[in-house]
């Protein structure tokens, strides 16, 4: 069933032709348009105006209803009327206590979910006293070495009551084990724990570039995590499929969605290949997208992504539960769009991007701090970022109607065009042998690096405008007087002291035995490594020791040298 009758469309076409001959022709002859051609950031051509004739080919079922297949119009039937999106600002720095204090401040300011950034040594499976951790401890996130650090991180926070997102990737299974161990230690019902692990290995190799092991063992670790979490902590999303980083490293909106869907397919094949039914884990797959600068393109991106995902799960994986086909997404505004020059402009950029995410139907959101082009955000910057979301949520009445732009001729056409282009990219990945193989070959990496360079050249030439940077430049603007979040120089020593205390206080023979058993299990593809990892963290094995034990078995990743 089409949206419009054929006679109505015929009528519109005739009237449009007449308009083009008369009013439009007259306008163009008196004043030409500013550009010879208009297109979206990802390259889709744009018409000057859209009519019903432009969406006459789209069946009504492609739109559907909110909370129903194919989910174009939203993930849930009541959307923000039933529950507003979660304000989830990520934070992490210094020792666990420092981050814990920031959490308490943000909850008091009105944040409704927690999210943790970890420092680079923790992400890469290194203890704070490892020589490779030099200068990095507690810098871009919180330092975690043992289960006790996770306990300190969430001190005084009821984990049955607030959802927690952990931005942890290569070492995700260890930090998850620590989280479960802390919850068990405190006597929580594990079935009540809610939250999300980022744990998306393939996007690490192509975008965020934090890795420990070769590609295939990393995907196996994710498989183990998904299968274990489905039974042990059924309300935790074991993965956040992170298109955000694909965009951050240079990808356009089509690459962001197509590549992350290619990774989704690879993970689903891995888990179903191990014997788990798609409907037993797909409802807990979650996504993380960027909300970037091209406003309408981004809104259509969210809508197209929901439709593509629903079709992949229904058609390719034969899912039967609607929850398996429902794409839920956390959104972050675009860090790449922030400028150091006239940094207060970043507030406006972020507010507009956040509005786009809401009109696109996000489930939770992080709005960037205005000072993030300098360093990790200050408390004041985070407060403004939270206020930005509260103003959109509570002051401007954009939450009463679901998918308010749905049915717009332009929005529906662009959603459809983006979907078509995403399918083309997915077909290409299939034809070339699938995501895992292409990650190993560096195919995605090359595509994204090319895209990043093309974007740079557009900014460099002035074709892509950055206000204050390559347009409306204020020569008099001096270097910003910005108060920057201070780094705690003592934090490394405190982590090292605590590591030494743990290593002397624990049963070292038992730790060695558990690590040996874990390494043996890693040698075969059959075992699930989570139960043994939980045992090891409870025995106070450190994150670095656990990751090192598997490095002995699997080796490390050698990066394909792509520039």
Partner 1 sequence: MNEASMTKQASDDTPNRDATAGPIRVLVAKLGLDGHDRGAKVVARILRDAGMEVVYTGLYKSPSEVVAAAVQEDVDVIGVSLLSGSHIPLFRELGRCLREAKADHIFVVAGGVIPEQDYAALWDSGVDAIVPQEARAELIVTTIRNLIAARGRV
Q: Which residues bind partner 1 (CB under 8 A)?
A: 120-121, 123-124, 126, 132-136, 139-140, 204, 208-210, 248-250, 339-341, 373-376, 449, 452-453, 456-457, 460, 466, 468-470, 473, 477-480, 482, 484, 487, 559, 561-563
User: CB of 429: closest distance to partner 1 in angstroms?
Assistant: 22
Closer by beta carbon to partner 1, 234 or else 468: 468
State how far the Cα of 460 lies from the Cα of 242, in Å rounded to an integer. Answer: 28
Nearest CB to partner 1, comparing residues 172 and 249: 249
Which CB atom, from 96 or from 125, has the smaller least distance to partner 1?
A: 125
Distance of CA 314 to the CA centre of its chain: 23
Instruction: Tell the smallest beta-carbon distance from residue 140 to partner 1 (Å).
Output: 5
What letter would DSSP give residue 112?
-
Residue 451: CB partners within 8 Å, gap ≥ 6? 250, 251, 252, 255
Report which secondary-structure segment, H or E, holds 13: helix 6-19
- Residue number with CB closer to partner 1 (7 or 479): 479
Is-contact 4 56, C-beta < 8 A? yes
CB of 557 to partner 1, least distance (A): 10
CB of 322 to partner 1, least distance (A): 37
Smallest gap from Cβ 353 to partner 1, in A, equals 19
Q: In angstroms, what is the minimal distance from the CB of 445 to partner 1?
A: 9
Residue number, 94 or 113, with CB nearest to partner 1: 94
Question: For partner 1, which is the closer residue by CB, 40 or 208?
Answer: 208
Euclidean distance between CA atoms 510 and 131, whole angstroms: 26
Q: Please give the C-alpha separations between residue 137 and each of 89, 122, 168, 312, 492, in angstroms, as whole numbers.
A: 21, 8, 15, 41, 6
Residue 209 Cβ, how far from partner 1 at the closest point, in Å? Answer: 3
The answer to whether the CB of 286 falls within 8 A of the CB of 450 is: no
What is the spatial distance between Cα 159 and Cα 157, in angstroms, rounded to a whole number? 6
Place of tokens 């405008």: 465
CA atoms within 13 A on the CB side of 455: 19
Tokens for 313?
Answer: 């799960």
Closest CB to partner 1 among residues 478, 524: 478
Q: For residue 422, which phi and psi values (nearest 5 degrees)? A: -65, -45
Laid out side by side, the sheet with 86-87 consists of 86-87, 364-366, 329-333, 285-291, 239-242
- Beta carbon nearer to partner 1, 85 or 211: 211
What does residue 471 show for φ and ψ, rounded to 5 degrees?
-150, 145
**Cα–Cα dist 226/173, whole Å:** 10
Report the C-alpha gap between 148 and 201 in whole angstroms.
26
- How near is the Cβ of 342 to partner 1 at its closest, in Å? 9
Closest distance of CB 457 from partner 1, Å: 8
Q: Which is nearer to partner 1, 54 or 136 (CB)?
A: 136
């Amino acid at each position: 069933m089409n949206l419009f009758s054929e006679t109505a469309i015929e009528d519109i076409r005739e009237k449009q032709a007449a308009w083009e001959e008369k009013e439009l022709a007259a306008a163009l002859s008196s004043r030409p348009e500013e550009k010879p051609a208009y297109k979206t950031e990802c390259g889709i051509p744009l018409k000057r105006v859209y009519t019903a004739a432009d969406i006459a080919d789209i069946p009504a079922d492609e739109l559907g209803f909110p909370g129903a297949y194919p989910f174009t119009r939203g993930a849930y039937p009541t959307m923000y009327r039933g529950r507003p999106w979660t304000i989830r600002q990520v934070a992490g720095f210094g020792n666990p206590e420092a981050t814990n204090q920031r959490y308490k401040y943000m909850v008091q300011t009105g944040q409704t979910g927690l999210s943790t950034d970890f420092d680079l040594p923790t992400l890469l499976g290194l203890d704070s006293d490892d020589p490779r951790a030099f200068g990095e401890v507690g810098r871009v996130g919180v330092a975690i070495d043992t289960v006790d650090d996770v306990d300190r991180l969430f001190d005084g926070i009821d984990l049955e009551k607030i959802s927690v997102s952990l931005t942890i990737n290569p070492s995700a299974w260890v930090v998850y084990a620590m989280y479960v161990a802390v919850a068990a230690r405190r006597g929580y019902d594990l079935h009540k724990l809610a939250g999300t692990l980022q744990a998306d290995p393939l996007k690490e190799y192509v975008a965020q570039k934090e890795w420990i092991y070769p590609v295939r063992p990393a995907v196996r670790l994710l498989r183990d995590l998904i299968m274990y979490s489905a039974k042990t902590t059924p309300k935790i999303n074991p993965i956040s499929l992170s298109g955000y980083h694909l965009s951050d490293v240079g990808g356009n909106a089509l690459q962001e969605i197509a590549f992350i869907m290619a990774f989704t397919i690879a993970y689903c094949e891995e888990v179903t290949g191990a014997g788990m039914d798609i409907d037993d884990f797909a409802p807990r797959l979650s996504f993380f997208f960027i909300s970037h600068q091209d406003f309408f393109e981004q809104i259509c991106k969210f809508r197209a992504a929901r439709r593509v995902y629903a079709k992949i799960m229904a058609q390719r994986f034969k899912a039967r539960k609607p929850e398996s086909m429902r794409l839920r997404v956390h959104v972050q505004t675009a860090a790449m769009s922030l400028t150091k020059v006239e940094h207060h402009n970043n507030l406006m950029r972020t507010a507009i991007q956040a509005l786009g995410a809401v009109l696109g139907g996000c489930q939770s959101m992080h709005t960037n701090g205005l000072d993030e082009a300098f360093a990790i955000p200050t408390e004041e910057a985070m407060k403004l970022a939270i206020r930005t979301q509260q103003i959109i949520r509570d002051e401007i009445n954009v939450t009463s109607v679901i998918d308010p732009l749905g049915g717009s001729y332009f929005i529906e056409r662009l959603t459809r065009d983006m979907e078509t282009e995403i399918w083309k990219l997915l077909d290409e990945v299939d034809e070339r042998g699938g995501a895992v193989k292409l990650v190993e070959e560096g195919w995605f990496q090359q595509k994204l690096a090319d895209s990043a360079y093309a974007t740079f050249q557009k900014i460099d030439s002035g074709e892509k405008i950055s206000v204050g940077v390559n347009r409306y430049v204020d020569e008099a603007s001096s270097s910003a007087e910005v108060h920057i979040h201070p780094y705690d120089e003592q934090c490394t020593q405190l982590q090292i002291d605590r590591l030494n205390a743990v290593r002397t206080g624990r049963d070292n023979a038992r730790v060695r035995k558990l690590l040996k058993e874990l390494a043996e299990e890693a040698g075969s593809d059959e075992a699930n490594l989570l139960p043994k990892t939980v045992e090891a963290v409870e025995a106070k094995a450190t994150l670095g020791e656990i990751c090192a034990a598997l490095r002995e078995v699997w080796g490390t990743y050698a990066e394909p040298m792509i520039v």
